[in-house]
Amino acid sequence: MIQHFTGLSDLSAQQIHSLIERAVEFSSIDRQQLKKVLPHSVIANVFFEPSTRTRISFEMAAKLLGSEVINFDLSNSSVKKGETLYDTLRTLEAIGCDAIVLRHSDDRIFETIKEKFTIPLINAGAGRFEHPSQGLLDLYTLKHEFGKLEGLNITILGDVKHSRVAGTMIICAQKLGLNITICAPENFIPAQLSANCKLSTIENSLPSADAVMCLRNQFERHELVDFDAQAYHLEWGLTNERAQMLPSHAIIMHPAPINRGMEIADELVESKQSRIFQQMTNGVYSRMSILEWILKGTL
């Protein structure tokens, strides 16, 4: 059976740790050696929602491993002639792509289609559901920082309900022994919380946090009338004042893109405790790990 990469929920703790370890190895291999990892593969990048980081990160990971990349350009495609997603993906399979990296607005898109494909599908963000390659790079960043995942206290701040990034962390909290605290306005709190997750106030949560994950307000996913960015920042953002409440060893994370001054104070984005751009660097190694596993089955 084809091994897809649709969510961290499908993976064991051991598999997640193995992917992270392989990503760490990739971070120290030079580019000449990297090119020999996947020299004859072709990866299709298919994004039905806007993306900078994830698309380019997968493209970079694939190219550095020696693969070719086909960027499927939605705006100039037969989707304009009414072609279905299924037929578009089947076309990429028929044409010889070895894997399809897919972002789509439908939460359950992978469940719906994955059994019909003979090449691996890789989830690059599905609706408000999982975003497992982002989850993996977040876990890589935490493990690299603290040497372990078990027992870490993670505060997630902001639009948790609409965030597939947060969703992915919550899904694997229990499996990996993470303690997750959610601080969010009422309409941003998910309906159900899984084990190892609790609600709290920012003030109660930050002093014992090892990491705080700020989330982007997903304006495109909800209707906010008369939204006041500054008021939101003061009430729910990571302000400079609140950052002072963090222990000195704690790190600041954000999946980006960032609304500077809204969910996080401008000055904190590149502060000493921030790992925001480091997360992006780690993302390339994490995606190399995913691509190698999916294409070579070496986990």
Query: Can you give the binding site for a second copy, defined by CB under 8 A?
Result: 31-32, 35, 39-40, 42, 47, 50-53, 55-57, 59-60, 63-64, 68, 70-84, 87-88, 90-97, 216, 219-220, 256-260, 269, 277-278, 280-281, 283-284
User: What's the min distance (Å) between Cβ of 100 and a second copy?
Assistant: 12
Looking at beta carbons only, is 178 or 253 nearer to a second copy?
253
User: 235 with 183: CB under 8 angstroms?
Assistant: no
> Residue 263's closest CA among 229, 298, 223, 222?
229
User: What's the min distance (Å) between Cβ of 239 and a second copy?
Assistant: 19
Looking at beta carbons only, is 216 or 233 nearer to a second copy?
216
Looking at beta carbons only, is 96 or 185 nearer to a second copy?
96
By the 10 Å C-beta count (0-12 exposed, 13-18 middle, 19+ buried), 95 is classed as: exposed
User: What's the min distance (Å) between Cβ of 191 and a second copy?
Assistant: 25
**What is the phi-psi region of residue 198: left when phi exceeds 0, alpha when psi lies from -120 to 50, beta otherwise?**
beta
User: 145 with 275: CB under 8 angstroms?
Assistant: yes
User: What's the min distance (Å) between Cβ of 225 and a second copy?
Assistant: 18
**Tokens for 270?**
């590149």
User: What's the min distance (Å) between Cβ of 200 and a second copy?
Assistant: 28
> What CA–CA distance (Å, rounded) separates 249 from 146?
9
User: What's the min distance (Å) between Cβ of 294 and a second copy?
Assistant: 18
User: What's the min distance (Å) between Cβ of 197 and a second copy?
Assistant: 26
Looking at beta carbons only, is 13 or 60 nearer to a second copy?
60
**Tokens for 4?**
């897809």
Looking at beta carbons only, is 242 or 254 nearer to a second copy?
254
In the 8-state DSSP scheme, what is residue 5?
Answer: B
What is the gyration radius of the CA atoms in the chain, in angstroms? 19
Tell me which amino acid residue 208 is.
S
Strands in 110-210 per DSSP E: 121-126, 153-157, 179-183, 197-199
Looking at beta carbons only, is 205 or 285 nearer to a second copy?
285
Looking at beta carbons only, is 91 or 273 nearer to a second copy?
91
How far separated are the first and last CA of the chain, in Å rounded?
A: 15
Helix (H) or strand (E) holding 169: helix 164-176
